[in-house]
Amino acid sequence: MIEQVVRQVLAGKPDAFLWIVRSEGPGLRSFLASRLHQMQDVDDLAQEIFIIAYRKLREFEPDRDFGVWLRGIARNRLKQHFERVTRQTASLELFRSEVMEIDRMAEEIERLAERTRSAQLLAMVQCIAKLPERMRMVVRSRMDGEKAASLAAESGLSVDAIYQIQHRSLDWLRDCIGKEMTNVAE
């Protein structure tokens, strides 16, 4: 399917590229969000990556997986991003960049990215609605360091407990998505 769209774009119909954006956008954004702290950075970089992909579309080989090709661009762009932000803000992104420099981690993320389809994001939406109340509260708070502290203050729990709940929630969601995607019946 994507080959058809690429041909349309290369034949002078740039609007067809928006189909690619909508098709690959959620996966690319998830990939970037697995590395970056701010969603604003995720979306800015995703846009840049799509622009680069559009400009380099003739280099895309039709027998390749488009998502893999896109993440190749993303990895290069991320490297530049980390070089820049590491100079600017030493510690905040440092742990993330060091984590992602671990080869096995990068391989695991790539494996997960390859397996992820938009349907799983849809399933996640349904699973969030099914989360037990306290887990949903934590999941919906879109935590970062400061949010976790304020959430802890609001709920009367410790920051550690908040992260424990978040971890359990991620396990729960993963299990729920798995069931949504695999359990079938008449």
Partner 1 sequence: MLRNDMVDALATWQGLAVDADRRDELLARLRTDEVFCREFAEALWTLAMLRVVQAPEPRWLSLSEELGLCGVEEDGSVDEGAEEAIMAEVRRKPHRIRLSLPWRTFAMVAAGVLALFLWFLFIAKGRNTEKMGITEVLPSERKLAVLAGESGAVWESDPLIAGGNWVRPGSHRLLAGSDTLLFFNGIRVRLQAPLEFSLVNEGTVSCHRGAMRVTVANGAAGFRVNVPFGVVTDLGTDFAVSVGADDATRVAVMEGTVELGIRQQEDDGIRLISMAPGEAVEVSATGNTQPASTNGVPPPPDSSLLPLKLPDAYADLILAGKPRHYWRLDRMENGKIPDVTGRGNPLLSLGPLAVSADGGGRHSLRLSGKGGVRSQHPWRLRTDGAALELWFASEGNQQSSLVGMATRELDSRHFAMLSHNSYLSEAAPRSQMLNTVRFLTRWPIDVRGGVNLFSEPVIGPYSWHHVVIQIKGRRMELHVDGMPVKVATADPLPKTIDAFLTLGFAHTMGRDGLIEGLPDRFLIGRIAEVAVYDRVLSPKEIRQRLGK
What sign results for the dihedral spanned by CA atoms 76, 79, 81, 87? negative
DSSP code of 144?
-
Contact 116, 27 (CB under 8 A): yes
Q: What letter would DSSP give residue 64?
A: S
Q: Using an 8 Å Cβ cutoff, are 66 and 20 in contact?
A: yes
Is residue 138 a contact point for partner 1 (CB under 8 A)? no
Interface with partner 1, residue 15, by CB under 8 A: yes
Q: Closer to partner 1 at the Cβ: 72 or 122?
A: 122
Q: How far is the CB of 15 from partner 1 (least distance, A)?
A: 5
Footprint (CB under 8 A) of partner 1, residues 60-89: none
Select from 41, 69, 72, 96 the one that contacts partner 1 (CB under 8 A).
Answer: 96
Two tokens, residue 83: 């070089």
Smaller CB distance to partner 1: residue 73 or 113? 113
Reading the block at residue 59, the tokens are: 């280099």
Q: How far is the CB of 27 from partner 1 (least distance, A)?
A: 9
Interacting stretch for partner 1, rule CB under 8 A, among 56-64, 69-77, 80-88, 136-144?
136-144
